[in-house]
Structure 1
């Protein structure tokens, strides 16, 4: 079968199972977006703490590095006795995987803020918390968002593993298609995931550029 014929067969499979496709796509998106949002809520405050205390930074970065090296399936296996099968253990695995890029970028973004800008803010009488809210975080936001972008795109692919513990998502079609040697079903799950990753990457890249523009304006105001 030609490439066009294979793609046509995959599209036909999606259209003939469209309700199932929408369900799997919603599950996949929920796994990705919820895990990334939770990672943002945890990683950014930890990153702020890490820039204020070297000991905390050592511990946080070490834990983050370990979390990133442990395979998602291994994490799922560890939480399975506590959380069982389904959405929640899959979410824990994806959340753990999403942490490190956001955490490292938060630390890097905050530490890379120009010292003269911070000194100018102090000279204006700002407290450390005000400097963090009004200067450091706005200036670091493009770098932080780059970590969020990386986590989101990575988790689109990692979410396929949720199939193995009943977490749903497009992995249901991909893994089943591999098992049954059913190429149209496999591609019907794989192609939307690839398009989703590309779409999220382009969307986040656009937002990142806008944040970069705002960040430059903030620095101009702070040093002006």
Structure 2
């Protein structure tokens, strides 16, 4: 009980710092997630038009996810130095991959007969994409976004290695002082904070999926 009491005292005394770091962490994840989603949709739409393009996108996504985040951050630090920029590049890269895969899967899952019917009614290729294909693929795409968001929460913590913003710095600080005063409290505070942010973001994305999915699709 003493350890728990000490932890809550630690959090209360540093609440302003922790809340600011939590805001930075969430902001970094959300902004990079939006950028990754836009890029993945654009690339996924182009790739899904041909069989080889879809296969290449799937292969790139699978291979890219095997790249260790530490290794990529280390490479980026050597290229663009430390700070926010390598963190943003790394998060956009890793966030892009699951979404790209789901964009391709979602678009390829649209019934070709529906597309042909739309084209036969005089709809242009762009109108068919925006009004038919993307809405039908949207639930699958948003599943990829939610998976990506949870993954980026953890990678954003590792980005503290490159002096990126967020709660990861608290975790690394605690690890570097392991055995010292409040080292464990710092690690737990950073970890719990990231878990709470992950739950909040997942709930928000789930609600966004429900509000942005066509009612006809959601009833299927």
User: With structure 2 as the length reference, what TM-score do the two structures score?
Assistant: 0.89
RMSD of aligned Cα (Å): 2.1
Matched, 1:35 2:36: no
Return 5+ residue gaps in structure 2 as ranges.
Answer: none
| 1:168 paired residue number | 165
Counterpart for residue 193 of structure 2: 192
Higher helix share: 1
- How many pairs does the alignment contain? 216
Q: Structure 1 residues 72-81 or 98-107, which shifts more?
A: 72-81
Once the two structures are TM-superposed, the CA of residue 192 in structure 1 deviates from its matched residue by 1.2
**1:85 positional shift:** 0.5
Q: How many angstroms does 1:26 deviate by?
A: 2.3
* Greater displacement, 161-170 / 102-111: 161-170
Question: Cα deviation per residue 1:30-62 (whole Å; 9 max; x = unaligned)?
Answer: 221122112112111110011112333343333
1:16-31 mapped onto 2 (5 Å cutoff): 16-31=13-28
Are the counterparts in 2 of residues 73 and 93 from structure 1 also a CA contact under 8 Å? no
Partner of 1:64: 61
On the 8 A contact 1:67/1:100 being kept in 2, the answer is yes
1:140 pairs with 2:141: no
Q: Bigger CA drift: 26-35 or 45-54? A: 26-35
Q: Distance in 1 between matches of 2:171 and 2:212?
A: 36
The whole-number CA distance in structure 2 between the counterparts of 1:147 and 1:196 is 18
Could you tell me which residue of structure 1 aligns to residue 147 of structure 2?
Answer: 150
Structure 2: how far apart are the matches of 1:7 and 1:108? 46
Structure 2 counterparts to residues 113-128 of structure 1, below 5 A: 113-128=110-125
Give the Cα separation in 2 of the matches to 1:78 and 1:215.
Answer: 46
Residues 140-193 of structure 1, C-alpha deviation per residue, up to 9 Å, x if partnerless? Answer: 111111111111111111111111111131111112223323222211111111
What is the correspondence of 1:42-121 to structure 2 with a 5 Å cutoff? 42-121=39-118
Structure 1: gaps (5+ residues): none
Question: Structure 1: how far apart are the matches of 2:176 and 2:4?
Answer: 19
Alpha-carbon separation, structure 2, partners of 1:60 and 1:38: 18
Deviation at 1:12, TM superposition (A): 2.1
What is the CA-CA distance between 1:83 and the residue it aligns to?
0.9
Query: 1:100, CA displacement in angstroms?
Result: 1.2
Alignment of 1:204 with 2:201, yes or no, is no
